[in-house]
A and B are shown apart, each in its own frame.
Chain A
């Protein structure tokens, strides 16, 4: 008998015993909705598992019983002894079948039509008749709770019922009769283990208190026994912890069958590879990941893998592979679920995102494929269009993500078109004991899980006293910290938790740098104490709505302390206040840190804010007399070079007092627009590394430019304010045949965002990718372009290597490849030309890029 079946029988026998009791209870208290739904769940589970295991007879009986129970549950039938008898009859029949199953390993033959008909009649509201069926007795109206079905006669094929605790028990001791549990393992209810754990935690705390007492009293008499007690306590704690650990394979053992059935139903060839099944983790965590895991495997098989025909067409082997890989890393278990299927269809996700209103087209245009793919984790992203019998149950990836986050885990995905998708789940080993940093804010102590703490920084709240000290700076009351020339958003714990006003008298503070997902933030606290191993206990139900806490615990000194949830803090504070796309964009922007220096135009606008825009994007700077500004349709315009030019003000307020108005003029073909600013400050060369994603339209984010926090202008946004169709018109005319198709390779999202519409406006069709690897994947996929524009400085494969790869082989070997770089020194240029670049242009020199493209494509000046 296989493990699955024996597990099922054990579970079902337990459920059946409970069912008897519950049904009798129900008869006595017919209005008890709780008992009713408990019964319904049990029968439903039996039915569900039967279908899964391929036990049709059992399933039919259970299904008929479930129908009746369903009617009772939704109150279309009322509980009467007659109905309870019917259900009991069904359960007795289930017992008979289960007994047969235990004895022979197969469903006994038999006819249940009379029973099912009677149950169906009951369900449809007809007066139930006393039921009799061929191989059972007439069931008395009230059955007393009976013991679990008697064990079958000892027979060779019988397996042990209770093998679930010891998964690797070799050959099942088949000769013993099943109800006698195997000697090596016993089933212990989880409650007993949990109680033990609680007791041990208390013991540990008492031990700690004793040790503290002993330390202060130099009395030798207790020292030795106390030490012994301490050791034994530690061993005991470890031992009890071990009882809760189970190999992750326990959560996997139903998967091979699932995949087999899946491949059968879908007509696909699927191979399941499982690596690291003996990786151990807390059983509580194990239980919690079972469902998300099953769902993801279903998804991979259903949506991820192609049919054999499709795979053959794509040049892959007919058999698709789903791989599960588990391993320890730090205090976490990493679980990878990967398939070698078609990958996530970015186009379809994009369309879905648009139609569900999760993001605007403009926002999407600025996202990488990876960011768009992550939309499948968003609530409201229903895959309704692709629902199938296998995986479409309204349970989306957002539920998977929520469930994983509930246990302090994270999930991410990587998908390459045509090559497959990999989901990476990171979950903590145990939820019971974590190492935590104890901090103080507003005179209260809190614990922060050590796992999310990256580093501690001591900072002063006031002005920098000495240059070496970090200072908490404020941008319009939002605290930030410069950490190794990057801006770190800060959250004051005192303010966030409303613990009274921050203690300004104390000048020095500590910043706990925490990692939340891919995002970094700093939590300002007053003091930092030690780290302690803490036993996480859930907070009382009436406090569950305070999402800032993941639990509470008792410290060694016996005091109660709240455990902070960095995820909750990020959500509650401005760091994560934005939508996920912004978070992701922020993370993305943070992730790349290009060494390129860019010429930036600094100016002041809005509420006298310091802003910057890449100089290459600005056509001209003008200072026009105030009286030259006219109004047209309620909007300011000016006559500029014989044409009307719309004027847009940043932040609305224009100083009417000044005699002249400084303008940044953006031009494209014969279209121009003027951006009204307060003052043009300077042009500087600096790195453009956007540290904080912007919370409002019109800004890309904040960067450190010239040593100061500066808002970076989202040019695209302002252009569309002037000409709503600024970007759209070009691609539309661009659908003309023969329009050159450009491949743009640049790791900077910001730059792609600028360049794609700009090239589009110049009459090119543009496909943008974020890395050389993605570009080469397009080549492998048969993509064809007229020219390639590539960045030089890129993580992974850089532009030089990319150019070599393009030139070496493949269909792109003869294409013009234009490099964009900030380093236009001759050495780099020579290296580039040797690697195969056709031409070199400076970053942000749009005219030069367009000119170079036109020359190299031998196109006439006007397309």
Chain B
């Protein structure tokens, strides 16, 4: 582990200026995704189940005539499934020309955060979370995990 920590500075993402993030909650965790990666924020949607698809894929939905693949972020982050009946929101991101909707519990405000409050993920962070996050922002009283959208969507490569 020690060597890992020592090596980390080279791999750390360089953040000099303020980061603008769309904040969202998955489970009880506050997370954020770079605002530039987000194309749309959607409320509760009708999602068509896709048989035989990986469990992380919740299904597909219709976004103004485009078919968007919905990815259940709770599944992706190995969290317990959402209680039945609880409405969910989604954040739509573009990956290689395809649209994907990340299903989350709640999408809240857009925050501009000072780079000084940014830290790399602690090495002890759960492996799944470590793989999908670029770092952590210290907010007043809460921590915000910055999610790596590209890695979250890199389903086929990894599985």
Taking CB atoms and an 8 Å cut-off, the chain A residues in 12-59 that contact chain B are none
State whether the Cβ of B102 lies closer than 8 Å to any Cβ in chain A.
no
Instruction: Please state if B53 and A543 are interface contacts (CB–CB under 8 Å).
Output: yes
Instruction: Please state if B155 and A560 are interface contacts (CB–CB under 8 Å).
Output: no
Known: A559-B48, A560-B60. A545 touches B156 (CB 8 A): yes
Q: Which of A143-151, A198-206, A634-642 contacts B (4 or more CB under 8 A)?
A: A198-206
State whether the Cβ of A546 lies closer than 8 Å to any Cβ in chain B.
yes
Known: A201-B65, A202-B64. A562 touches B57 (CB 8 A): no
Please tell me which one of the listed residues B47, B49, B67, B156 contacts residue A542 in the complex, with CB atoms under 8 A apart. Answer: B156
- Report chain B residues within 8 Å CB of A552: 60, 67
Interface size on B, residues (CB 8 A): 25
Instruction: Please state if A546 and B52 are interface contacts (CB–CB under 8 Å).
Output: yes
Smallest distance from the beta carbon of A497 to chain B beta carbons, Å?
Answer: 4
Taking CB atoms and an 8 Å cut-off, the chain B residues in 23-78 that contact chain A are 46-54, 57, 59-62, 64-67, 69
Instruction: Return the chain B residue nearest A540 by Cβ.
Output: B69
Instruction: Please state if B65 and A499 are interface contacts (CB–CB under 8 Å).
Output: no
- Report chain A residues within 8 Å CB of B9: none
**Docked complex Cα distance between A561 and B54 (Å):** 17
- Report chain A residues within 8 Å CB of B153: 542
Contact with B along A204-219 (1 / 0, CB 8 A): 0100000000000000
Instruction: Please state if B48 and A541 are interface contacts (CB–CB under 8 Å).
Output: no
Please tell me which one of the listed residues A497, A498, A543, A553 contacts residue B57 in the complex, with CB atoms under 8 A apart. Answer: A543
Q: How many A-B contacts at CB < 8 Å in the complex?
A: 67
Known: A540-B69, A541-B96, A546-B53. A444 touches B64 (CB 8 A): no
- Report chain B residues within 8 Å CB of A544: 156
Instruction: Please state if B98 and A541 are interface contacts (CB–CB under 8 Å).
Output: yes
Instruction: Please state if A498 and B52 are interface contacts (CB–CB under 8 Å).
Output: yes
State whether the Cβ of B137 lies closer than 8 Å to any Cβ in chain A.
no
Instruction: Please state if A562 and B51 are interface contacts (CB–CB under 8 Å).
Output: yes
**Docked complex Cα distance between A743 and B64 (Å):** 68
**Docked complex Cα distance between A499 and B62 (Å):** 22
Please tell me which one of the listed residues A543, A549, A560 contacts residue B62 in the complex, with CB atoms under 8 A apart. Answer: A560
**Docked complex Cα distance between A549 and B53 (Å):** 11
Instruction: Please state if A554 and B52 are interface contacts (CB–CB under 8 Å).
Output: no
State whether the Cβ of B100 lies closer than 8 Å to any Cβ in chain A.
yes
**Docked complex Cα distance between A445 and B48 (Å):** 9
**Docked complex Cα distance between A371 and B59 (Å):** 42
Instruction: Please state if B100 and A540 are interface contacts (CB–CB under 8 Å).
Output: yes
Instruction: Please state if A444 and B65 are interface contacts (CB–CB under 8 Å).
Output: no
Instruction: Please state if A198 and B67 are interface contacts (CB–CB under 8 Å).
Output: no
**Docked complex Cα distance between A547 and B30 (Å):** 37
State whether the Cβ of A854 lies closer than 8 Å to any Cβ in chain B.
no
Interface size on A, residues (CB 8 A): 28
Choose among B53, B64, B98 the residue with the greatest number of A CB atoms under 10 Å from its CB.
B53
Contact with A along B71-90 (1 / 0, CB 8 A): 00000000000000000000
State whether the Cβ of A833 lies closer than 8 Å to any Cβ in chain B.
no
Smallest distance from the beta carbon of A698 to chain B beta carbons, Å?
Answer: 34
**Docked complex Cα distance between A101 and B155 (Å):** 50
Instruction: Please state if A561 and B48 are interface contacts (CB–CB under 8 Å).
Output: yes
Which secondary structure characterizes the binding site on chain B? Answer: mixed
Instruction: Please state if B52 and A548 are interface contacts (CB–CB under 8 Å).
Output: yes
Smallest distance from the beta carbon of A236 to chain B beta carbons, Å?
Answer: 15
State whether the Cβ of A652 lies closer than 8 Å to any Cβ in chain B.
no
Smallest distance from the beta carbon of A565 to chain B beta carbons, Å?
Answer: 12
Instruction: Please state if B156 and A559 are interface contacts (CB–CB under 8 Å).
Output: no
- Report chain B residues within 8 Å CB of A559: 46, 48, 62
State whether the Cβ of A823 lies closer than 8 Å to any Cβ in chain B.
no
Contact with B along A174-210 (1 / 0, CB 8 A): 0000000000000000000000001001100100000
Instruction: Return the chain A residue nearest B65 by Cβ.
Output: A202
Contact with B along A474-499 (1 / 0, CB 8 A): 00000000000000000000000111
Choose among A198, A537, A541, A544 the residue with the greatest number of B CB atoms under 10 Å from its CB.
A541
Known: A541-B98, A542-B155, A542-B156. A205 touches B51 (CB 8 A): no
Instruction: Please state if A542 and B69 are interface contacts (CB–CB under 8 Å).
Output: yes
Smallest distance from the beta carbon of A548 to chain B beta carbons, Å?
Answer: 6
Instruction: Please state if A562 and B96 are interface contacts (CB–CB under 8 Å).
Output: no
Which secondary structure characterizes the binding site on chain A? Answer: mixed
State whether the Cβ of A140 lies closer than 8 Å to any Cβ in chain B.
no
- Report chain A residues within 8 Å CB of B64: 202
Contact with B along A487-513 (1 / 0, CB 8 A): 000000000011100000000000000
Choose among A497, A499, A560 the residue with the greatest number of B CB atoms under 10 Å from its CB.
A560
Known: A444-B51, A562-B51. A541 touches B61 (CB 8 A): no
Instruction: Return the chain B residue nearest A497 by Cβ.
Output: B51
Known: A540-B100, A545-B156. A554 touches B50 (CB 8 A): no
Instruction: Return the chain A residue nearest B46 by Cβ.
Output: A559
Instruction: Return the chain A residue nearest B49 by Cβ.
Output: A444
- Report chain A residues within 8 Å CB of B54: 542
Smallest distance from the beta carbon of B152 to chain A beta carbons, Å?
Answer: 11
**Docked complex Cα distance between A537 and B46 (Å):** 19
Instruction: Return the chain B residue nearest A204 by Cβ.
Output: B65
Instruction: Please state if A543 and B48 are interface contacts (CB–CB under 8 Å).
Output: no
**Docked complex Cα distance between A731 and B65 (Å):** 68
**Docked complex Cα distance between A202 and B50 (Å):** 22
**Docked complex Cα distance between A549 and B69 (Å):** 15
Instruction: Return the chain A residue nearest B156 by Cβ.
Output: A542
- Report chain A residues within 8 Å CB of B51: 442, 444, 497-499, 546, 548, 562
State whether the Cβ of A380 lies closer than 8 Å to any Cβ in chain B.
no
Choose among B46, B65, B66, B156 the residue with the greatest number of A CB atoms under 10 Å from its CB.
B65
Smallest distance from the beta carbon of B150 to chain A beta carbons, Å?
Answer: 13
Taking CB atoms and an 8 Å cut-off, the chain A residues in 519-576 that contact chain B are 537, 540-546, 548-549, 552-554, 558-562
**Docked complex Cα distance between A544 and B159 (Å):** 13
Instruction: Please state if B156 and A205 are interface contacts (CB–CB under 8 Å).
Output: no
- Report chain B residues within 8 Å CB of A445: 48
Instruction: Please state if A543 and B69 are interface contacts (CB–CB under 8 Å).
Output: yes
- Report chain A residues within 8 Å CB of B65: 198, 201-202, 205, 554
Instruction: Please state if B50 and A558 are interface contacts (CB–CB under 8 Å).
Output: no
**Docked complex Cα distance between A541 and B98 (Å):** 8
Instruction: Please state if B50 and A562 are interface contacts (CB–CB under 8 Å).
Output: yes
Instruction: Return the chain B residue nearest A551 by Cβ.
Output: B67
Instruction: Return the chain B residue nearest A543 by Cβ.
Output: B53
Smallest distance from the beta carbon of A628 to chain B beta carbons, Å?
Answer: 56
Known: A497-B51, A543-B57. A537 touches B67 (CB 8 A): yes
Instruction: Please state if B100 and A562 are interface contacts (CB–CB under 8 Å).
Output: no
Smallest distance from the beta carbon of B93 to chain A beta carbons, Å?
Answer: 12
- Report chain B residues within 8 Å CB of A499: 51
Instruction: Return the chain A residue nearest B99 by Cβ.
Output: A540
- Report chain A residues within 8 Å CB of B50: 543, 546, 549, 562
Known: A444-B51, A545-B156, A546-B52. 11 other contacts (CB 8 A): A202-B64, A202-B65, A497-B51, A540-B100, A541-B96, A542-B57, A542-B69, A543-B53, A546-B51, A548-B52, A552-B60
In the complex, 27 of the A-B residue pairs with CB atoms within 8 angstroms, ordered by the A residue number, are A198-B65, A198-B66, A201-B65, A444-B48, A497-B51, A497-B52, A498-B51, A498-B52, A499-B51, A541-B98, A542-B69, A542-B153, A542-B155, A543-B50, A543-B53, A545-B156, A548-B51, A553-B67, A554-B62, A554-B65, A554-B67, A558-B46, A559-B48, A560-B61, A560-B62, A562-B48, A562-B60
- B residues neighboring A (CB under 8 Å): 46-54, 57, 59-62, 64-67, 69, 96, 98, 100, 153, 155-156
- Minimum-distance CB pairs A-B, first 5: A202-B65, A497-B51, A540-B69, A560-B48, A542-B156
